[in-house]
Each structure stands twice: as C-alpha cells, then as structure tokens.
Structure 1
C-alpha cells in the first residue's frame, strides 16, 4: 500500500503537471491558430464568405456565375469594412441546411446564413452565432383567390408541408390552438411543395418565410399569391464565425450593427459622404468622424462608413433583394426596425 501511495504521489508531483502543461500548450496553439482571422484575411487579400443552402433572394448565381442576394451584400459590406473594397470577396455556397465543417476547417471566414440559431448549434460545433440579421419563422403561402389576409382565417384547408418534425408539430399546434381544421399533405423535400401547390394538391404551403418567398418567385405570376404576415415558430438567422477569435467576432458583429444603425439615423449609400459634416453625434460616431471605434478591432476608424458606402444601410440591402422590383416583394415584418414595430435593433455607438 505505501508503495502504491508513493507512485501516486510521484504522478501528482511530476507526471500530472507535465500532462497539464502539454494540454495548455496544445489548447493555446489551437486558440492562437484560430485567433488571427483578420491577419489571415489580409495576407490572403480577400474575404472568403458564404452561406448554406443557396436560396433565391439570399444567394443565387446568374448564368455568368456571379452571386447576388442578401447574404452576398452582407459579405460585401464586411469586405468593405476590412479592405474598403466590397469586391475583395470570394463567395461560397454550401449545400445543406446547417453547415459547420467549413468553419471548423477554415474553408470560410464567415457564413452569413447558416441553420437557424439554437443552443445546440451555438454550443456544439466550436462556432459562434454573432447577432441576428434576419428574423424568420414558419408561415403560410396562399393564392390571392382565397381572399385571406391572415393565418387566423385559415380553416378547412389542405396544407403542403415538409416532414422535418418541427414544421408538422408547429402546424398541429397552430390549428389546435385556434380550433380550426386542416389536412396536411406531407413531403420530404421542399422542392415537392411547389410541384404539389401548382397541381392544386393543396390550398396552402407552410414553410419558413425565406423558403416561401423563394417558392413565390418561381410561380408564374407571384402577384397572385400572398405570404401571410404571421409566423408560427421562431427562427433567428445571422452570421456565424469560428470560435476562439473574439476580434473577428466583434468585427462581423459591429459591421451588421452599423448597417442597422445607419437605417435608424437616416444614413444611406447616397448621403453617407455629405453627412460626414453632420452635427449629430450619433451620425458622427457611426461614420468615424467622432471617436475611434475601429482601432480596437484592428480596423480604420471609418470601417462602418466604408461598409455603408459600399452596400447601403440595412433597409437598402433588404429592399434591393426583397422589395417590389423583385416581382415578389416580402414585407419587412419582424425585420423592421424596433421603432417601426419590428425586432431589429443595434446597441448605441458611444
């Protein structure tokens, strides 16, 4: 017994500290390897930015291979914040609803849209959700011929829905709570919903708002179909970055905050330069004329105004991709500013 205790004591005195030191060194190496995203981007000369699941309005590619959409414009704003040049990006779209391996392997610096924010996704994969940039949830698409303007009017309808568990459950809870009836027509793939809807196999489609607006764009005459304003679930979308790099996390976060704040104080892509002479302290701080909020992030004091000058404020980006000119306008709804009844806001810059 004394011999055993002596060996344990030797382990605690000699071996255990060595193991701990090696562990700390290993973890320190991992953190330092992850904690230089901005330096890596600058050495590379461009930002690698992407999103999951290419989707009309968010990320679509034209015949010449050029990407456009809400996600892409946010990427361009971030590139402008870093380089003062929105063109210094490489955009990559990753198939699948939620992708984390590209962040873990360094294949991408930031995903502007990934699977909806949840505790499991935020804590499990070594990645960090930065801040909401788009609020969504499960909704309903109906033909205008039904003369329905609210989901609470739905009754005795057939609803096409994807069997992913949560969507079907949300549907059941919504109709049960409202004591109305429906019949679900269940499919395994979102692409089948539009096929069934076109063939009149269901009266209504139920899916996330972002999926519904993409479906609506594919219909022959989008104006003959309406996305009802209500959402029956919560889905929060926003940029996701690799864990372990607080500087990069803050750069992405305050770039998004800058676009939101710009809308709030009336700074646009067109007037940003003229407002450099503004007497408003809020505007002057946003544009980097008063105070320096860039140096702590390794950026110029004008990084927020550079992002706005490149892509405009949040409203300009939203309207460009989801406004009337698209032929399938999507109401701001939850994505309106907090002062206009929405959920969108940014902390003050001061």
Structure 2
C-alpha cells in the first residue's frame, strides 16, 4: 500500500494563483492577439464603442475644468478607465441594473441618465438623484464597497421576479478590503443570484498601493473563496472587457450565478478633485508606462487598421461632446437652487426636535 502524500496548502495556493492569467484580446499596439476570443460586434458597434470612449474622455476633461471653476461639486476623474467602464456597460441590456461607485457616472450616462442630472448629482442637488423612468440604476455610492451588498440584494430580487436581467456593480481595488465586498459576493453566490461584480483595479486606493492592501496575487482569485468564477482582464482593452462581461451576463441569466471581474487599469488623474495629489505617491515613470496602454490609443489603432476610424471622425465626436457639456451645464445652472429646507424635507419623514427648530429658522430666512 502506497504511503499517503501529505497535504501541502502552500503548493495548492500557488497552483490556484497561477491559473489567474490576464485575459487580453488587443495588445498595446491595437493588434489582435487572441482571435478566437473576438466578441461578435459589428463594425457599427465597434465604432459606437469608440465614440462613447472619446466622448467620455472629453467629458472628463471638461468636468475637471468645471470643478476647478467651482461649477461642479464632488468629482472623481475617469481618464484611463474608459475601457473598463464603458465596454462593461456596453455588454449590458437596458433591463439590467447598475449599482455604481462614485467614479462610475459614465456608465449611468450611457445607461440613459441625462448629463444635466449627472452634473446636478455632482453638486449634491436632489434632482440629480431623480432618475428617469427606464434607467435601472441607483445613485453612485460614496461609501466604499457598500454597493456590493446592495448589488447582491438587487440580483436576488431579479431572480425572485423571474426577470432575464442582471445587477452589476463596480468598486475599486480598495473596495475589496472592505467587509461589504466579501459579504456581497458570498450572499450572491449562496443564492446563485444574477450578479456581476466588477473590481476596477487602478492600482491605488487613493494613495495606498494595491500591494499593501492584500497579499493575494490577484483580486480576481478572491472569487474562489465563495465558489464563483473570477476573471482577471486587461482593463485597458475594450474588446477583452466587453467579452468577459458579456460572458458573465450570459451565465447569470442562464441561472449559473454571479461572476467577479477584475479589470486591471489605471486612472491618469487624481483620486478625486478634493485635494488629492497623485505626484506624492506615483512616479512619472509609472505614469508614462500606463500612458502607453491608453485604451483610446489602443482602440483607435485597431479601428484605423480596419478603416473604421480617422481623425475627422474623432474631432467630430470631441466637438459634439463639448457642445453637450456646454448645454448640460447651462441647464444645470438654470435649475432652481436647492434650499436647506428642501434638503431637510427630503432627508426626514419624521424630523427630530432639534432639526425642527433649525427648520423653522431656515424657513423664515428663505421666505425673505
């Protein structure tokens, strides 16, 4: 009788971690490196995805400028994460639900949220949270990782109602260090809920580098702990992001449960416009390396090689984006200012006594 081999947990961990290789379709030069994985997208659909990415890059630039002018409130820059954000949203259907983090306003816009309301949300105006009928989404979550628990609940609700839809949520690499992250993916796994959990790993939780947050080689492998598929994807490659999201959605609506997707990407700007200075914790060499992986440059090269994109088209989209921003901010400026009493009315059904007293004070001020 052969002697039993001793169990080596360190070896098992190493074997698991080796299996999480980064999925990619387009390399940095816009060349296809995985022909078999090419998603079924028409030329028109490819062009539309590029249009959305260029438009959103302009929106980001304009939003930063508006913030510096004092015309926007809270704003988290998105440049560098367009493939991660927009290609994943592009793989969804209108009946799907989006539970975004604070950096994920672009997904809401392309899901149907008017740009004017996105600006009002940034200003903290209550009308910025009044989504139009048919926009299946919650307002961006400010609490880190809290949307993961909410996403599990929405997905279970979708399943109980027998809907052919999914709930998708986003957080950053820092969000995976929160308890809500584990609770959310575990709950969704236990109920085989139609959920997609996206971790946009841009390497920094504000200023804390990803390697100081966890000893795990990847964030995608955390899916193993709750028994769901985990995917590590090149988050600067829009085709790869679209493919893994579409596959995750197909599995979810087929009843096969949730998927955790880690998109490896980078934010070119600060964490938010609220005083963060990325030069204090990132080097110029690191920035330069990631600029070579720019999702817009990569996708532009790919489309140009297929004669689907050119400078003239890009300029048209950029000018349209500038006009759209100009019109939306004008509409936001024309919106009636939110009063203190409106804020209190919206916050409380039964107002505490101390606030009732303050309410009367502000009501008198506002009447003058």
Which protein is bigger by CA-based radius of gyration? 1
Q: Identify the TM-score tier after normalising by the shorter chain.
A: under 0.3
Q: Which has the higher strand share?
A: 1
With a CA cutoff of 8 Å and minimum separation of 6, indicate the structure with the bigger relative contact order.
2
Q: Which has the higher helix share?
A: 2
TM-score, length-scaled by structure 1: 0.25
